[in-house]
């Protein structure tokens, strides 16, 4: 087992983590950046390390390349063996990192909700299919339905089309009136991108329907068709893939593990992005869904604060206030409708890992009760998928995760560490 | 013509585009499913970002996620994880 030492450990190399690590180094601290993917960028800048496609990613990726930040990829955090001692697992075995302060920038995941047929091969998250395609998933010529909720649907549909998919329909569950109100707030930068994506789709002739959602997916070994509810009508569409996601949920497992205060499913931080636990900062969507602009600003603030440079410039404060307005608009206008709570049948799988049905879970009192009674949330994904679904379906609080945060070989905890100097490694 | 690498999927040699993820490679190789659920139903990549664990496969003998791993020449992939 290898062991590294650093002053500031940054977990997650998406926009928030990159900004945090670069800013910490600029403020005079030593930072180590770790991510479970094989390269930096997170989900939003996936595949952009070698070819950035916009000004923002070009600027920050160049900054990271030029920065002395030590980077390690392909490593997933599984536990803290002690305060300030993180344990990661990866293809080359485990790695321990001793740090003085910690910045967590683990972003968000998609909210996936159960409906009959949602476990069929060919049914993906909306952002899920988008990132799979960025990593070479062949989608050219395939008929794809994009469904769920939020601006991510437009971005996903846009990039699927660009990769050669035939996007049959974008089904947004929110009502037209809410979408109009969201569009009316399009003054800030991220919202403009949403607007541009919508425009491109319209020009390309892709239908975008509001008050529309997938009721079921059908197929034998593979998805063949979906049944949609569009307003008062029901419609069947033959398709090869369904990309369906109902907004994003903050990844808070690390905050739960460390005992940080949470509110509304997100990590509570102060003006310096500092959590309720000393020396532990959070940046980006773990603190609430707000898009890439907000992630970058929070990352910059967290990195500087962790490096001991606490003063916030006027520009940073103003940028943060602007990004927060966008986050609030997102929340208000893409509220999930009640009908989505009633799509699953009693025998529809809710916990995909342990094959626990919706009916079996429904009679439980809490996530913990469901764990004890049915093994819901106790499989490989440790409740990352069904936990967020249960929060929406039944109003359950997320159960506290137990280490390890992911399945790992026993050697991850038993082998004795060998010290490795971060400055000397390649 | 993009560069290709040769991998083995459940013992069968296939050529797939270099640089793609293992999840994508399995799709190129015509494998719809990465694993079987407890009831035997086929499952495949879903979240694309290392959250759902549906694309877990055995890569050179070790269980890993297909969506987070890049293909490499000579990789041995088993869909029995």
Name the residue range of residue B38's domain.
Answer: 4-78
- Residues from chain A that touch B44, judged by Cβ atoms under 8 A, are 121-122
Mark which residues 22-81 of B lie under 8 Å from A by CB: 23-25, 27-28, 32-33, 37-39, 41-54, 56, 62-64, 67-70
Q: What is the DSSP letter of A222?
A: S
Same domain, A126 and A238: yes
CATH value at residue B8: 3.10.20.30
Please check the confidence at residue A191 and state whether its pLDDT lies above 60: no
Q: Are residues A221 and A273 in the same domain?
A: no
> Dihedral sign, CA of A378, A382, A384, A388?
positive
Q: A23 lies in a domain?
A: yes
**What is the per-residue pLDDT across A82-115, written as a single tens digit (0 to 9) for each?**
999 999 998 888 999 999 999 999 999 999 999 9
pLDDT at A125 over 70: yes
Q: Which of A246, A268, A293 is the last residue of a domain?
A: A246
Distance from CA of B71 to the nearest CA of A (A): 11
Cα–Cα distance, A360 to B6 (Å, whole number): 45
A177 inside domain: yes
Q: What is the pLDDT of residues A228-254, one digit of tens each?
A: 999 899 999 999 999 999 999 999 999
Identify whether residues A165 and A224 lie together within a single domain: yes
Cβ <8 Å between A222 and B28:
no
How many interchain CB pairs under 8 A, A with B?
A: 112
Any domain includes A299: yes
Determine the structural domain holding residue A93 and report its residue range. 2-109+249-312
Distance from CA of A123 to the nearest CA of B (A): 7
Residue A304 has pLDDT above 80, yes or no: yes
Q: Check if A127 contacts B (Cβ < 8 Å).
A: yes
The pLDDT value given to residue A424: 42
Same domain, A104 and A129: no
Q: Is there a domain that residue A228 lies in?
A: yes
- Same-domain status, A116 and A240: yes
Query: If you average pLDDT over residues A43-55, what whole number do you get?
Result: 89
Using one digit for the tens of pLDDT, what is the confidence trace for A376-396?
Answer: 999 999 999 999 999 999 999
Kindly state whether residue A87 falls inside one of the protein's structural domains.
yes
Residue A327 lies in a domain: no
A93 lies in some domain: yes
A132 with A229, same domain: the answer is yes
Cα–Cα distance, A44 to A30 (Å, whole number): 26
| Nearest residue of chain B to residue A136 (CA atoms) | B20
Q: Are residues A206 and A121 in the same domain?
A: yes
Cα–Cα distance list, A363 to A39, A352, A360, A369, A399 (Å): 43, 18, 6, 10, 17
Specify the pLDDT at position A330.
76
Are the beta carbons of A118 and A112 closer than 8 angstroms?
A: yes
Query: Helix/strand/coil (H, E, C) string of chain B?
Result: CCCEEEEEECCEEEEEECCCEHHHHHHHCCCCCCEECCCCCEECCCCCCCCCCCCEEEECCEEEECCCCECCCCCEEECCC
In a domain, A321, yes or no: no
Number of structural domains found in chain B: 1
Same domain, A116 and A105: no
CATH number at residue A262: 3.50.50.60
* Claim to verify: residue A45 and residue A139 sit in the same structural domain: no
- Sign of the Cα pseudo-torsion (A284, A288, A294, A298, in order): negative
**Domain final position from A291, A312, A333:** A312
Q: Do residues A219 and A142 share a domain?
A: yes
Domain closes at, from A191, A214, A246: A246
Q: Specify whether A137 is located in the same domain as A46.
A: no
Note whether A74 contacts B: Cβ–Cβ < 8 A. Answer: yes
> A234 and A166, same structural domain?
yes
Chain B hits for A109, CB-CB cut-off 8 Å, are 47, 49, 51
């Amino acid at each position: 087992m290898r062991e590294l030492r650093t002053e500031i450990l940054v977990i997650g190399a998406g926009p928030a983590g990159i900004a945090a690590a670069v800013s910490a180094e600029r403020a005079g601290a030593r930072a180590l950046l770790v991510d479970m993917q094989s390269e930096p960028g997170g989900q939003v800048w996936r595949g952009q390390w070698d070819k950035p496609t916009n000004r923002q990613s070009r600027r920050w990726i160049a900054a990271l390349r030029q920065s002395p930040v030590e980077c390690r990829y392909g490593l997933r955090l599984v536990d803290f063996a002690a305060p300030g001692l993180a344990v990661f697992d990866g293809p080359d075995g485990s790695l321990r990192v001793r740090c003085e302060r910690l910045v967590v920038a683990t972003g968000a995941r998609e909210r996936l909700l159960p409906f009959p047929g949602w476990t069929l091969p060919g049914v993906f998250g909306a952002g899920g299919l988008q990132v799979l395609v960025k990593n070479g998933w062949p989608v050219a010529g395939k008929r794809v339905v994009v469904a769920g909720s939020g601006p991510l649907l437009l971005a996903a549909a846009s990039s699927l089309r660009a990769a050669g998919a035939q996007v049959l329909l974008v089904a947004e569950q929110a009502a037209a009136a809410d979408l109009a109100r969201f569009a009316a707030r399009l003054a800030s930068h991220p919202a403009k991108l949403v607007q541009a994506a919508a425009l491109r789709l319209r020009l390309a002739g892709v239908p975008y329907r509001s008050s529309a959602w997938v009721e079921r997916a059908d197929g034998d070994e593979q998805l063949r068709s979906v049944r949609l509810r569009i307003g008062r009508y029901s419609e069947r569409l033959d398709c090869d893939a369904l990309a369906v996601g109902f907004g994003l949920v903050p990844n808070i497992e690390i905050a739960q593990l460390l005992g940080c205060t949470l509110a509304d499913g997100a990590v509570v931080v102060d003006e310096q992005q500092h959590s309720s636990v000393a020396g532990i900062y959070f940046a980006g969507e773990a603190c609430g869904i707000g898009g890439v602009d907000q992630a970058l600003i929070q990352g910059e603030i967290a990195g500087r604060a962790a490096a001991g440079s606490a003063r916030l410039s006027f520009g940073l404060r103003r940028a943060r206030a602007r990004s927060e307005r966008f986050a609030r608009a997102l929340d208000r206008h893409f509220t999930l409708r009640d009908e989505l709570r009633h799509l699953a049948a009693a025998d529809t799988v809710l916990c995909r890992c342990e094959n626990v049905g919706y009916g079996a879970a429904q009679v439980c009192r809490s996530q913990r009760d469901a764990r004890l009674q049915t093994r819901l949330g106790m499989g490989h994904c440790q409740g990352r998928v069904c936990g967020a679904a249960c929060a929406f379906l039944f109003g359950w609080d997320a159960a506290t995760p137990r280490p390890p945060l992911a399945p790992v070989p026993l050697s991850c905890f038993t082998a004795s560490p060998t010290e490795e100097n971060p400055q000397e490694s390649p | 013509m993009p560069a290709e690498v040769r991998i083995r999927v459940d013992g069968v040699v296939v050529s797939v585009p270099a640089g793609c993820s293992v999840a994508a490679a399995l799709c190129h190789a015509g494998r719809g499913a990465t694993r079987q659920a407890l009831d035997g139903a086929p499952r495949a990549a879903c979240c694309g970002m290392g959250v759902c664990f549906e694309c877990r496969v055995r890569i050179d003998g070790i269980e890993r996620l297909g969506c987070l791993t890049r293909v490499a020449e000579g990789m041995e992939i088993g869909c029995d994880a």
